[in-house]
């Protein structure tokens, strides 16, 4: 209650300052108007910064990572991730399942508008008949014994999807087990990398949030729109790999 009262007092004070300056502005010559306008703009920025500070104190950042055993096409999220091939023309496994449920329009958009996707990168399409609004397609590396930077490329897949989802203003995203099917990436090690990328992504957002004062009021804004990430495992073996890392099946990052 005290915080609310103090916030109202601050708002009233700044608003009175602006009203006073606007009144004075009508009575001075043109040479000083520019200076007063600059003061008014500064007051507006101070009000916005103060409100953002209060919002940050009252609503601290919170992100959720959840483990689910299910078919990824059932996920009610903003976007599901597709473990795609470079041509984005559909295939087996997760890729085929997503294309079957989404319908022929998904393949049409992939082929006619996206023109493929390199390993480690991501592309986005509509979800069509899926519950999810969007599909983010990424291409995992093929396992070649770990001597060709495969794990770094796998990490890049997850990072690319997170960044693309945030650029689109999405709040929730669901990942399958990227690369561990036909591409033969090791299941346990891939789960470790996937979870580490997502956890680090949210931890870095929290660390940088409100850290810099250089470009106020933007400095107080969150660097991601994402709030929730699901790891969706279709078979029990994959699920167990993630469950060993997330014993409760849920991780909350603050």
Q: Report pLDDT for 214.
A: 45
pTM exceeds cut of 0.85:
no
| Known active-site residue 95 | yes
Residue 219 predicted with pLDDT over 70: no
CA distance 105 to 103: 6
Which of 29, 44, 70, 95 is catalytic? The answer is 95
Q: Report pLDDT for 113.
A: 94
Residue 149 structure tokens: 């930077």
Mean of per-residue pLDDT scores for the chain? 85
Q: Report pLDDT for 242.
A: 98
Average pLDDT over residues 146-154: 97
Residue 95 predicted with pLDDT over 60: yes
Q: How would you classify the pairing of strands 79-83 and 134-138?
A: parallel
Average pLDDT over residues 46-61: 59
- SS3 per-residue string spanning 106-172: HHHHHHHHHCCCCECCEEEEECCCCCCCEEEEEECCCCCCCCCCHHHHHHHHHHHHHHHHHHCCCCE
Q: Is residue 199 classed exposed, middle or buried when 0-12, 13-18 and 19+ CB atoms within 10 A define those classes?
A: middle
Q: How confident is the model at residue 210 (pLDDT cuts 50, 70, 90)?
A: low
Q: How confident is the model at residue 6 (pLDDT cuts 50, 70, 90)?
A: very low
Residue 128 Cα to chain centre, angstroms: 21
Q: Is residue 114 classed exposed, middle or buried when 0-12, 13-18 and 19+ CB atoms within 10 A define those classes?
A: middle
Q: How far apart are the first and last CA of the chain?
A: 24
């Amino acid at each position: 209650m005290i915080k609310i009262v103090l916030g109202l007092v601050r708002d009233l004070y700044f608003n009175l300052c602006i009203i006073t300056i606007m009144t004075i502005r009508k009575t001075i010559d043109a040479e000083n108007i520019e200076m007063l306008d600059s003061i008014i703009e500064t007051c507006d920025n101070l009000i916005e910064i103060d409100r953002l500070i209060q919002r940050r104190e009252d609503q601290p950042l919170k992100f959720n990572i959840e483990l689910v055993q299910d078919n990824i096409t059932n996920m009610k999220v903003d976007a599901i991730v597709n473990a795609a091939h470079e041509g984005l023309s559909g295939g087996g496994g997760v890729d085929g399942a997503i294309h079957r449920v989404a319908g022929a329009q998904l393949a049409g958009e992939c082929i006619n508008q996206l023109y493929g996707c390199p390993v480690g990168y991501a592309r986005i399409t509509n979800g069509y008949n899926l519950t999810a609004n969007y599909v983010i397609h990424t291409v995992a590396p093929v396992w070649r014994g770990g001597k060709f930077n495969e794990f770094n490329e796998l990490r890049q897949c997850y990072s690319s999807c997170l960044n693309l989802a945030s650029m689109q203003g999405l709040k929730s995203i669901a990942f399958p087990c990227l690369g561990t099917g036909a591409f033969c990436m090791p299941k346990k090690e891939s789960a470790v990398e996937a979870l580490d990328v997502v956890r680090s992504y949210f931890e870095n957002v929290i660390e940088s949030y409100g850290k810099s004062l250089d470009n106020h009021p933007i400095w107080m804004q969150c660097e991601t729109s994402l709030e929730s990430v699901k790891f969706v495992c279709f078979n029990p073996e994959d699920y167990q790999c993630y469950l060993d890392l997330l014993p409760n099946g849920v991780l909350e990052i603050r």
